[in-house]
Structure 1
C-alpha cells in the first residue's frame, strides 16, 4: 500500500539528521542501505500478521557510506510480511485500519520534524 501525497516524497534532507528523526519515531535504517539508497522500517506485529511501514530514499548528493549525503525521500509504503517469501505491498493486500491509521499519524509526525531541516 502506498501512502500517496503525504508530502514526504517532496522532502530532501541531510542523512544524519534524517537518521535521528526516523529512529526517534521507530523507523530503523540498520543495514538497509547502499551507497545510493536508504530504507527505514518500522515493524508492527498484531494478530493479523506482521506489517512494515517503509520509508525509502535515494541519494540526491553525496555518499551514504561516508555519512555525508542529502537524501530525497520517496513515497512511503505499508507491507505485510509472509514467511518465508518476504513483504508484499500489493493492492490486493488487506491492512488493518488501526495499522493504517497509526502509520498515517507517524508519517505526519515525521514529515513535520523533517520539514524543519529539509533542503
Structure 2
C-alpha cells in the first residue's frame, strides 16, 4: 500500500538529522542502505500478522556511507511480511484500518518535523 501525497516524497534532508527524526518515530535504518539508497522501517506485530511501514530514499548529493548526504525521500509504503518470501506491498493486500490510521499519523508527524530542516 502506497501512502500518496504525504508531503514526505517532496522532501530532501540531511542524512544524520533524518536518521534522528526517523528513529524518534520508531523507523530504523540499521543495515538497510548502500552508497546511494536508504530504507527506514518500522515493524508492527499484530494478531493479523507482521507489517512494515517503509520510507525509502536515495542520495541526491553525497554518499550514504560518509554520513554526508542529502536524501531525497520517496513515497512511503506499508507491506505485510510472509515467511519465507518477504514483504508484499501489492494492491491485493488487506491492511487493518487501525494500522493504516496509525501509519498516516506517524507520516504526518514525520512530514512536519522534516519540514523544519528540509532543503
Q: TM-score range by the shorter chain?
A: over 0.9
Match of 1:16 in 2: 16
Match of 2:64 in 1: 64
- Secondary structure of the residue aligned to 2:65 is coil
For structure 2, the 5+ residue unaligned runs are none
Shift of 1:69: 0.1
Shift of 1:24: 0.4
For structure 1, the 5+ residue unaligned runs are none
Match of 2:101 in 1: 101
Deviations 1:67-93 (A, max 9, x none): 000000000000000000000000000
- Separation (CA, whole Å) in 1 of partners of 2:62 and 2:87: 29
Total equivalences in the alignment? 119
- Separation (CA, whole Å) in 1 of partners of 2:18 and 2:61: 14
> So what's the TM-score if we normalise by structure 1?
1.00
Aligned ranges 1:1-119 → 2 under 5 Å: 1-119=1-119
After the TM superposition, list the runs of 4 or more consecutive aligned residues in structure 1 that deviate by more than 6 angstroms.
none
Shift of 1:62: 0.3
Shift of 1:99: 0.5
> So what's the TM-score if we normalise by structure 2?
1.00
- Secondary structure of the residue aligned to 1:65 is helix
